Amino acid sequence: MEPFVSDLHPNPGWKKAKKINNIESSEKVSYENVGRHCILELYQCDKGKLNDEAFIRTTITSSAKIAGATLINLITHSFSPQGVTGLALLAESHISIHTWPEIGYAAIDVFTCGNHTMPENACELFSKEFAAKQCSLKNIIREIPNEFQNFQRDP
C-alpha cells in the first residue's frame, strides 16, 4: 500500500488541531516541510507585457527553469478584450498567473515541493520581466505533521 497524504488542505483536521475563529491551528506538533507556496502580486506593470500571451508563456517557462523545477505542461489563454491566464504543470507542483492589463496587475502563484527548488527566484523573475513598480510576496511553507508521514489509506 502506497503512503497517502491528502492534497486538499495542508491540515485536514489532524489531531491536536483546534479551531480559533474558524481557523485551524496546531500546537506542539512536529512537521515535515513538503514545499513552499509563493503568492506574488505585481502592481503597476507593463500593460503590454501583461496582455502578451507569447511573452507570458516564455516568462513562465523561464521562471520554472530558474526555480529549478521541471516543466511538464503549459497552457495559456488570452481573453478578449484583454488579460491572460496561464498554468504550468510542474513535476514539483504548479505555477499560475492571471493578468489584468487594464490596471497593470498580475496575480501569480508558484508552488514547488522538495528541497531542490527555489520558487522565490521565479517570483523575482516575474517581477523583473513585467517591470512591476510595486509587489507583494507571501511565502507559505506547506507542511505535513510527522505522525502522518507513513500514514496509509485503507482500500
List, for residues 46-82, the tens digit of each pLDDT value.
999 999 999 999 999 999 999 999 999 999 999 999 9
Catalytic residues: 93, 98, 113
For the chain, what percent of residues have pLDDT higher than 90? Answer: 64
Indicate the pairing of strand 31-43 with strand 105-113: antiparallel
For domain 33-143, the CATH architecture is 4-Layer Sandwich (3.60)
Bigger pLDDT: 19 vs 83: 83
pTM recorded for the entire structure: 0.74
Q: For residue 122, which phi and psi values (nearest 5 degrees)? A: -65, -40
Is residue 110 within 8 Å of residue 88, measured between CB atoms?
no
Distance CA 115, CA 62 (A): 19
CB distance 115 to 12 below 8 Å: no
Task: Please tell me the distance from the alpha carbon of residue 152 to that of residue 121, in angstroms, as a whole number.
Answer: 35
Q: In the chain, where are the structural domains located?
A: 33-143
C-alpha–C-alpha distance, residues 22 and 60, integer Å: 35
Q: How far is CA 145 from CA 8, 16, 136, 152, in A?
A: 15, 10, 29, 14
- Which range among 3-17, 62-76, 138-152 has the greatest average pLDDT? 62-76
Distance CA 112, CA 94 (A): 7
Q: In the predicted model, what is the mean pLDDT of residues 83-100?
A: 97
What would the mean pLDDT of 117-128 be, rounded to a whole number? Answer: 96
